[in-house]
Amino acid sequence: MTGAAPIIEGINGHREFLLTGQDRPLYVESRSEPFPDAASIETMLNARRNMDDWQEQYGTARTANNLAAVHICTGDLEAALAACQEAESRLIDMLQQGNPHPQPLTFAGLAMVKYNAAVLFWAAGDSENNWTFADDNRLGAHEALMEVGEDADEDVEFIRSALLTLPTR
């Protein structure tokens, strides 16, 4: 994969880029071991999907986002799109249903998913619709971050700075 790297979120809420290297499995800078592969993340996502507890809803969205990031890095863009859509849908449902998960964190998660969707559409390449979808998702990420407001932490600022690196048309 070339261009902007997708963002993953760890269970501790720390966000960072998912990276690739020649002859190297997917990784993040903070870990010495390889990042889990798509099959491992899919297994975790399937288990989370069956949990109704509101606390698991964000975890499900985070896991779907991380799966999307893996698929973006490996070039499986259809699977990445499906995972982004699942994560986005879960987060929007949380916001609309008044889920007790802190709204700023939920909006930050939504911004991360929208950023990854923008990366996905830029990676998909040279099509007028892809550029439009990339721009729409980039703008959607900015809008979600505006909802975070003054509650921004370093991980939210990480998303903000990543958005600034995305190309615009």
pLDDT of residue 67: 97
Q: Tell me which residue has tokens 């939504």.
A: 110
Mean pLDDT of the region 115-135: 90
Mean pLDDT of the region 79-91: 96
Mean pLDDT of the region 50-67: 85
Distance (Å, whole) CA 73 – CA 20: 7
Mean pLDDT of the region 27-34: 83
Q: How confident is the model at residue 137 (pLDDT cuts 50, 70, 90)?
A: very high
The 10s digit of each residue's pLDDT in 90-108 is: 999 989 988 777 888 899 9
- Does the pLDDT at position 69 exceed 90? yes
pLDDT of residue 154: 84
Four-point Cα dihedral 141, 142, 143, 144, nearest 10: 50
Entry pTM: 0.89
The highest-level CATH class for domain 7-165 is mainly alpha
Name beta bridge partners: 17.
7
Query: At 122, phi and psi to the nearest 5?
Result: -65, -40
Tokens of 142: 């900015």
- Does the pLDDT at position 71 exceed 90? yes
DSSP state of 36: P
